Amino acid sequence: MRPPSAMVLSDVDPREAVPKKTGLPELDRVLGGGLVPGSVTLLAGEPGVGKSTLLLQALRSRADMGSPVLLVAAEESAQQVRLRAERLGPLPDGLLVLSGTDVMAVVEAVSETGADLVVVDSIQAVSLPDVAGPPGSLAQVRACSEVLVALAQAHRAAVVLVGHVTKQGTLAGPRSLEHLVDTVLTVEGDRHHALRMVRAVKHRFGPTGELGLFEMGEGGLAEVSDPYRMLLGDRRPEATGSAVLPTVEGERAIVVELQALVSHANGGNPRRTVRGLEPGRIGLLLAVIEQRCAVRLARSDVYCSVAGGMRVSEPAADMPMAMALVSATTGVPVPPNLFAFGEVGLAGEVRQVPHALRRLTEAHRLGFRQAVVPSSTPACSPGLELFRVDSVADAVNLVARVQTRTGHGLRLAGA
């Protein structure tokens, strides 16, 4: 085959990289509009988190649009796939299924059917007969991926590979697969919560960082366009150890509740349990609070979490988490209509974080009327009272004054 020749960049047709919608707006949000023809996407997540259900719903939506789509069921029989698909609704005629593990059979099926969306579930289960090693091995995964990448480019079909991850959150099998594909999506969620989060950690056709929210139910995954009910619907505003954070994921702001519980440690080594937050940042925050705010936590068990199953990794959670920890220590709640954001440095200073206006607007829309923010935060809409602070100690003392207005008193340990 003749190798491709160089061409003038301005002669390249950008319309060939225009994404096609999957029919699931939350998934399209993460993908920047949809799946690009000829691209290869890896969808990774723990077993049972909902990867197959999500992709089956996307296949059904594309088939309803009139496009032939193909599901390669390498881990299930065709009968099992049909039973699962029927629980989601009527079966469209354009939804095709191929049960088997031979990748060359996938190539033949795409050539015969002209499917423009192909889902391989999963890449660790398919193999090539002439490649040594069992399915899931380095040689098999790499060889199968190269064949499927060539298939996507030759037929201008969008190919989605399902990949399982280990309990540590890493892709089961060789990580080299992530470098072969155009897009890497992750599906996250606690099996004890209904919330499922889809993120793009690599995307050659658009920005990463967008978040798609779904709710797992009996009828599959339902899109969550406004997560307020799920994340704050059961909140107890007067509870101690609770603070509200407007976090930003991609282009959207999501208001979440941060919770803290502090109790006396019975043993010699106090426990530090963190869920939904970065454990390293919580450790640093505890040290800053003890040194800069005179709140004694070294001999206490500390539990920190994000309510509702969300995961927050941005530094903006530092200040509201500090307020929740002090509230849990003193037994005095943070005002119910107050929220906060800001990064806390080792000197106790509060630093600005991106997208301040977006955070303020979203929290105000949901009914919050007071905010503790870094001193350089710009003004927002009328009706939202901003308390600008320079340090985490100022934030805690300011909340004490706000509490005094409502009949409560907040006193720092050692103050």
- pLDDT (tens digit, 0 to 9) for every residue of the chain, 415 residues total? 567 788 898 888 888 889 999 999 999 999 999 999 999 999 998 888 999 999 999 999 999 999 899 999 999 999 999 999 998 888 999 999 999 999 999 999 999 999 999 999 989 999 999 999 999 888 999 999 999 999 999 999 999 999 887 655 556 555 678 888 999 999 998 877 889 999 999 999 988 888 999 999 888 899 998 888 889 988 998 899 999 999 999 888 999 999 999 998 887 789 999 999 999 999 999 999 999 998 889 889 999 999 988 999 999 999 999 999 999 998 889 999 999 999 999 999 999 999 999 999 999 999 999 999 999 898 877 889 999 999 999 998 887 777 666 554 444 333 3
378 class by beta-carbon count within 10 Å (0-12 exposed, 13-18 middle, 19+ buried) = exposed
Cβ neighbours for 389, distance < 8 A, ≥ 6 positions apart: 342, 350, 372, 373, 374, 375, 395, 398
Which tokens is 191 given?
């099996």
* Residues in CB range of 258: below 8 A, 6 or more apart: 242, 243, 244, 245, 277, 304, 305, 306, 307, 312, 317, 320, 321, 324
pLDDT of residue 410: 41
- Which residues belong to CATH 3.30.230.10 in the chain? 230-405
Burial class (CB in 10 A: 0-12, 13-18, 19+), 274: middle
3 state SS for 53-72: HHHHHHHHHHHHCCCCEEEE
pLDDT the model gives residue 409: 40
Please tell me the CATH code under which domain 21-225 is placed: 3.40.50.300
Please list the residue range(s) of the chain that carry CATH number 3.40.50.300. 21-225
Angle between helices 318-330 and 279-293 (to 10 degrees): 60
* Domain at 230-405: CATH code: 3.30.230.10
Instruction: Say what angle helices 103-113 and 138-155 make with each other, to 10 degrees.
Output: 10
pTM: 0.84
Polymer length of the chain: 415
pLDDT recorded at residue 16: 80
